[in-house]
Amino acid sequence: MEQQVREALEDVRPALQMDGGDVELIAVDGGVVTVRLLGACGGCPMATMTLVGFVEERLKQRVPEVRQVVSV
């Protein structure tokens, strides 16, 4: 499952990078994916919305085993 998550994140990254941000995979534990939002995304007031509304949604579409995405 970790490889599937990595591949899905590669599809998400260009959209984040267009806004000066990025995402780094920290861990996959069961259905919980831990990421770190980087660059502009790290300090953005919209980070939670980006994480849940965009990153988590895309990962769940590509990897149905993903239950939750959390940020550190």
Instruction: Give residue-wise pLDDT tens across range 1-55.
Output: 999 999 999 999 998 898 888 999 999 999 999 999 888 777 777 778 877 888 9
Q: What is the CATH number of domain 2-71?
A: 3.30.300.130
The per-residue pLDDT for 35 is 95
Whether residue 11 contacts residue 33, with contact meaning beta carbons closer than 8 Å, is answered with no
Reduce the DSSP state of residue 65 to 3 states and report it: coil
Backbone angles phi, psi at 64, to 5 degrees: -60, -20
Q: How far, in Å, CA of 65 to CA of 56, rounded?
A: 12
Q: What is the pTM of this model?
A: 0.89
Whether residue 47 contacts residue 60, with contact meaning beta carbons closer than 8 Å, is answered with no
